[in-house]
Amino acid sequence: TACSPCRLRATPCSPPAPAAPRLCRQSLPAAHSIMTDPECAVAGVQLVDDQTSHTLLLFLSFLLLSFVGGAIAIAGAMPPDPSVHWPGHSWIHFMKRLHVIFSIGCFLMNLCACFFSVFALHRTLAGGFDMRGRSAAEVLLRELEYEYVAVSVYYFAGMMLLMGPVGIRCFCMVQQGLRSDTLAAAVMCLIVGVVLLILSFFNAHLVHTPFASFAHLCLRFIELSLARCFGGGKPAVTLLLA
The per-residue pLDDT for range 71-92, each reduced to its tens digit, is: 999 888 887 766 665 555 666 7
pLDDT score, position 68:
93
DSSP 32-95: --GGG-HHHHHHTPPP-EE-HHHHHHHHHHHHHHHHHHHHHHHHT-SPPPHHHHSTT-TTHHHH
pLDDT score, position 105:
93
The per-residue pLDDT for range 186-202, each reduced to its tens digit, is: 888 888 898 899 889 88
pLDDT score, position 18:
52
pLDDT score, position 24:
44
The per-residue pLDDT for range 95-128, each reduced to its tens digit, is: 788 888 999 999 999 999 999 999 999 988 988 8
The per-residue pLDDT for range 114-172, each reduced to its tens digit, is: 999 999 999 889 888 888 888 888 888 888 899 999 999 999 999 999 988 888 888 77
The per-residue pLDDT for range 222-241, each reduced to its tens digit, is: 888 888 777 766 666 676 67
- Is 29's pLDDT higher than 70? no
For residue 79, what are the contacts with CB-CB under 8 A and spacing of at least 6? 95, 96, 99, 100, 165, 168
| C-alpha–C-alpha distance, residues 187 and 181, integer Å | 10
pTM, two decimal places: 0.71
φ, ψ of residue 191 to 5 degrees: the values are -65, -40
List the one residue out of 72, 87, 77 whose CA is nearest residue 172: 87
- Is 20's pLDDT higher than 60? no
